[in-house]
């Protein structure tokens, strides 16, 4: 009597299991860690002082650039690829659309790797930022210096964003400086011209005589004269 209901129950359970497997997030997303905060040190790589330092840097990045930086350190990676792991964590933590930057430090065996991904708002404003930040920390990660690599993230972040933020200001400063230099040079040129070629008596431009006067040492001096008042001056002395 139980044969028919039992078969139906088995078929229902099998169907539910199939649906669960199909609907299950790929890459063992159920194994992804939950965020403790902007800094989730599941890998226990930071001491108390190190955590305070990184949290301070996270706050400074937010204040300076408006970017929410999230950092994860873990000994578990269901993907065996840090970059893919970071992308999955960004999605799972609801950070994929904001002005965010997430770095996932993952230890596999004895080796560490890092993946850095950015939210859509960050990518739109600063294309390539995540890759540049990851490269900035990659060398330290390869040597297992994870606390130092975390701090280096922010050095790379500042290096990438500071030129972009100051692009307009140096251009304006250079333009103003050039204008001041040219104005000073023009003014100096006018002063020298006035001292050499303007008549001190009437202000008329001095003409250059065709003849040249001889000096005591056998040289020659050019003679400038004024057509209006008759003032003359040899080059190097007054007439």
The partner residues of 114 in beta bridges, in order of sequence, read: 105
Percent of the chain with pLDDT over 70: 65
pLDDT above 60: residue 152: yes
- What residue spans in the chain does CATH classification 3.10.310.50 cover? 26-163
Query: For residue 239, is pLDDT > 50?
Result: no
pTM metric for this prediction: 0.59
Res 27: pLDDT: 43
**pLDDT by residue (tens digit) across 30-72?**
578 999 999 999 999 999 999 999 999 999 999 999 999 999 9
Nearest to 70 by CA among 82, 85, 84, 59: 59
Q: Give the per-residue pLDDT at 220.
A: 61
The shares of helix, strand and coil residues in the chain, as percent rounded to the nearest 5, are 50, 20, 30
- Reply yes or no on whether the pLDDT at 29 is more than 70: no
pLDDT, the chain, mean: 79
**CATH number for the segment(s) 26-163:** 3.10.310.50
Spatial separation of the C-alpha atoms in residues 73 and 147, rounded to whole Å: 10
Closest by alpha carbon to 83, among 99, 105, 111, 101? 105
> Which one has a higher pLDDT value, 148 or 1?
148
């Amino acid at each position: 009597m139980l044969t028919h209901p039992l078969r139906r129950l088995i078929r229902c359970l099998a169907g539910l299991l199939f649906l669960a497997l199909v609907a299950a997030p790929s890459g063992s997303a159920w194994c992804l860690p939950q965020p403790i905060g902007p800094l989730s040190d599941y890998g226990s790589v930071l001491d108390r002082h190190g955590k305070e330092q990184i949290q301070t840097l996270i706050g400074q990045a937010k204040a300076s650039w408006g970017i929410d930086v999230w950092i994860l350190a873990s000994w578990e990676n269901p993907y065996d690829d840090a970059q893919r792991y970071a992308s999955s964590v960004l999605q799972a933590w609801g950070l994929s659309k904001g002005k965010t930057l997430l770095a996932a430090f993952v230890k596999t065996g004895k080796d560490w790797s890092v993946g850095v991904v950015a939210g859509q708002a960050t990518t739109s404003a600063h294309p390539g930022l995540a890759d540049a930040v990851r490269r900035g920390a990659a060398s330290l990660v390869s040597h297992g210096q994870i606390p130092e690599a975390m701090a280096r993230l922010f050095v790379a972040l500042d290096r990438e964003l500071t030129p972009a933020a100051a692009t307009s200001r140096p251009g304006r400063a250079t333009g103003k400086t050039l204008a001041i230099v040219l104005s000073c040079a023009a003014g100096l040129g006018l002063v020298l011209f006035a001292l050499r070629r303007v008549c001190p008596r009437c202000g008329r431009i001095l003409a250059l005589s065709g003849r040249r006067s001889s000096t005591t040492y056998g040289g020659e001096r050019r003679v400038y004269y004024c057509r209006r008042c008759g003032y003359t001056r040899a080059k190097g002395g007054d007439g």
